[in-house]
Amino acid sequence: MSLIRQMWLVIVATAVIAFAGSFGVTVASARQYLQTQLRVKNSDNAAALALSLSQQKGDAELMELLVAAQFDTGFYQRIRFRGTDGRVIERVADPSRARADAPAWFVALVPIASEPGVGQVSDGWRALGSVEVVSQVSYAYRDLWRGCLRAGAWLALVALVAGVLGNVIVQGIRRPLHRTVRQAQALTDGQFVTVEEPRVPELQRLTRAMNGMVVRVKTAFEEQAGQVDTLRQQATRDPATGVSHRRHFLTRLESELEREDAALEGALIMVRIAELARVNAELGRRDTDRLIQQVAEVLQTHAAQGHGGWVGRLNGSDFALCLPAHDAERPAIEADAARLMAALRAACEPFGAAQGVMLGAVHYTAGTALSQLLSRADEALARAESQGLFACVVQTDSAAGTVATGEEGWKRRIEAALSEGRLQLARYPLVDPRGQLVHDESPLRLQLEPGGPFLSAAQWLPLAVRTHTVAAVDLAVVDLALREIAANARPVGVNLSVASVVDPGFAAALRMRLEGLPAARQLWLEVPEVAALRHHGLVRELCQQVRHAGARFGLEHAGEHLPKIERLYEIGLDYLKLDARFVRGAAEEQAVRNFVQSATAMAHGLGIQVYAEGVTAAADAEALWTCGVDGITGPWAAGAVRG
């Protein structure tokens, strides 16, 4: 039994006992008082009647008339005169009159005794007999009954007031208790909530202790998040410049070329500081480091302007810049490279005319082999180096881009593909440490032309973003996933676009599709990590809608911004997937393992499962299992799944 119910039980029991005791004492006191009054009345009336009878000088007829007249007043139950000669004059009332003014059960429950009053009748010194008077008790019952009703009404009113006051007191205790329970539940769910301290001293101490614990746990989480970010930078950053080091840059570039939801095409730019050994000898270590940092800052600024680009330092003098084209049009590499070279020239001028850089740029398309792309970029850089300082060479090999048909044309093609059901889901298993299937990662394939190939997201997603059809596509993906779950009874994971997260009607439409469907409990929905960074409130609302309907919700491609996401613990995530660039090389690199272990421990502390994306090597998989990840997906997982 709950504490509140026990308190109510005590209050009600106390009120009932107090009511019953007060009522019983009141009734008993009134009954005793009435019986006393009846006894006194009977004695007085008997004495008065005996005096009147004594004045009749023993005349039997007059005495009988006097007894009758007294009895007819209606206040007597019995009057009896018993003479010394054995003569009896008696008047007795109907017994039913005693219960005429009160319920029968009340009369039986509370009997009132009317003790007879006796008076002596005489004629001078001669005794004539005795008279016995018993008053009618019906009036006493009437008064007692009415008194009980009044007493019961007042006691009921008092009980009602006591109940109201008790309710106020209980609510005063209930509210802080409920707040404390919600606070504890929020802490269990990974949310750090402090509550107002109540006025009750005992509960005030409890709340203060809970608030203190929440603050300490939150501080510990924030410190852990800071450690995760530090380990991420150690695992991915060049310490001198802050940009990605060679392994991380190439891992990310390879992932960009392989991922289905990556940009369809882009540009790779390589920059080399001319004769770094000579520069170091002429300028000294400090100024050389400043030159290197200036070049890195220019490249990072240019990458930030490219909306999704990133920079890496390949060796002491070489930098690389990847600029994915998140648009349906081919990027203008020549103009991009020219702007970048102008910025690099301005950055190098303060260090003297002999110091400079060379730039080589190439265009790439999704699916290009990493080695082939690097070879082309090295060739372009070598040609630029042969031309001297600040030379810029751009190789614009033709790419298999999409055919430009205009935004309206693309919109009609995408909408037609959705309406005609020309879409399918791929299957890539995500497995747990026992080799059991967690869910199938199911990216969408869209057939834009009847009878044509089913295209990956990289080939149509930029067009869907430009034509504002992403939300419709994502809803169609969810419908298709629910049908496959119902048909195959296998959990399915699908990814949602950032554009759908910010669409004002998407969350409600998604919940309507999921509400009440058993298949929703095997649906896994995920959004890119960047969505939680830029649109925290919208992602939290979408997560609540999805989880309310029974589905699971998580972040994909996570790791880079994970410690920077505002109030990550408030979103309510079920899982997150670490991007391939943060987990590849775990078998060889201790820094990678340190980051994965720290990120996994932080997520597990919030009740969030952690999965690794894009794992290709068995050695990396073994290292990731030891780091505590809950599941792995990628080429390796396809051969490891057992069911």
Confidence grade of residue 308 (pLDDT, cut at 50, 70, 90) = confident
Among residues 465, 473, 472, 466, the alpha carbon closest in space to that of 446 is found at 473
Most confident of 205-214, 220-229, 549-558: 549-558
For residue 475, pLDDT beyond 90: yes
The answer to whether position 221 is within a domain reads no
Q: Which CATH number goes with the domain that contains 451?
A: 3.20.20.450
CA 494 to each of CA 444, 478, 518, 523: distance values in angstroms, whole numbers, following the listed order = 8, 7, 17, 8
Whether residues 371 and 482 share a domain: the answer is no
The model carries a pTM of 0.63
Calculate Rg over the CA atoms of the chain.
Answer: 48
Reported as a single tens digit per residue, the pLDDT across 146-200 is: 888 888 888 788 878 877 887 787 777 777 777 777 777 776 666 677 777 777 6
Alpha-helix residue ranges (DSSP H) falling in 114-200: 138-188
360 lies in the same domain as 331: yes
Q: CB within 8 A of 347, min separation 6: which ones?
A: 294, 295, 297, 298
pLDDT at position 41, please? Answer: 86
Is residue 212 one of the residues assigned to a domain? no
Regarding whether 492 and 382 lie in a shared domain, the answer is no
Q: Which of 107, 139, 161 finishes a domain?
A: 161
C-beta neighbour count of 208 within 10 angstroms: 12
Structure confidence by residue, pLDDT tens digits, 234-289: 778 888 898 999 999 999 899 888 877 777 788 999 999 988 888 888 889 899 99
| Residue 285, in any domain of the structure | yes
Tally the domains of the chain: 3
- How many whole angstroms separate alpha carbon 347 and alpha carbon 351? 8
**For residue 379, is pLDDT > 70?**
yes
Per-residue pLDDT tens for 352-375? 877 899 999 999 888 889 989 998
Element (H, E) at 321: strand 318-324
Instruction: Retrieve residue 126's tokens.
Output: 């001669």
Q: 263-277 burial by CB neighbour count: b if 16+ within 10 A, else e?
A: bbbbbbbbbbbbbbe
What is residue 93's predicted lDDT score, i.e. its pLDDT? 80
pLDDT class of 328 with cuts at 50, 70, 90:
very low
Tell which residue, 374, 373, 455, has the closest CA to residue 413.
455
pLDDT of residue 401: 42
Please tell me which residue, 331 or 366, carries the higher pLDDT value. Answer: 366
pLDDT in tens, 390-430: 999 998 754 444 444 556 777 888 889 999 999 999 999 99
Q: Using a pLDDT cut of 70, give the percent of the chain over it.
A: 93
> Would 179 be classed as within a structural domain?
no
8 and 113 fall within a common domain: yes
Do 414 and 538 fall into the same domain? yes
Residues 523 and 579 in one domain: yes
The pLDDT, as a whole number, for residue 140 is 79
Q: Which tens digits make up the pLDDT trace of 430-472?
A: 999 999 999 999 999 988 888 888 888 877 777 787 788 899 9
CB 330 within 8 A of CB 401: yes
Beta bridge partners of 149: none
Displacement of CA 75 from its chain's centroid (Å)? 78
Looking at residue 27, which CATH number applies to its domain?
3.30.450
Same domain, 47 and 104: yes
What confidence score (pLDDT) does residue 307 get? 60
Same domain, 354 and 244: yes
Task: Give domain status of residue 494, yes or no.
Answer: yes
pLDDT at res. 400: 41
Whether 215 maps to a domain, the answer reads no
DSSP string, 208-236: HHHHHHHHHHHHHHHHHHHHHHHHHHHHH
- Beta-carbon contacts of 76 under 8 Å, excluding residues fewer than 6 positions away, are 45, 70, 91, 93, 133, 134, 135, 136
Of 344, 362, 395, which closes a domain?
A: 395
Query: What is the Cα 451 distance to its own chain's centre?
Result: 46
- Measured CA to CA, the distance from residue 361 to residue 380 in angstroms comes to 6
Same domain, 338 and 416: no
Question: Which residue among 161, 179, 202 closes a domain?
Answer: 161
Chain mean pLDDT for the chain: 84
Per-residue pLDDT tens over the stretch 487-512: 999 999 999 998 899 998 899 999 99
Residues 469 and 583 in one domain: yes
Angle, helices 407-419 vs 457-466, to 10°: value is: 120
Give residue 77's domain range. 3-161
Same domain, 145 and 56: yes
pLDDT in tens, 21-74: 877 888 888 888 888 888 888 888 888 888 888 888 778 888 888 888 888 887
The average pLDDT across 297-316 equals 87
Cα angle 79, 80, 81 (rounded to 5 degrees) comes to: 130
Residues sharing a CB contact under 8 Å with residue 462, sequence separation 6 or more, in sequence order = 263, 264, 325, 326, 327, 328
pLDDT at 549 over 70: yes
Same domain flag for 526 and 493: yes
Q: Is 339 helix (H, G, I), strand (E, B) or coil?
A: helix
CB 57 within 8 A of CB 156: no
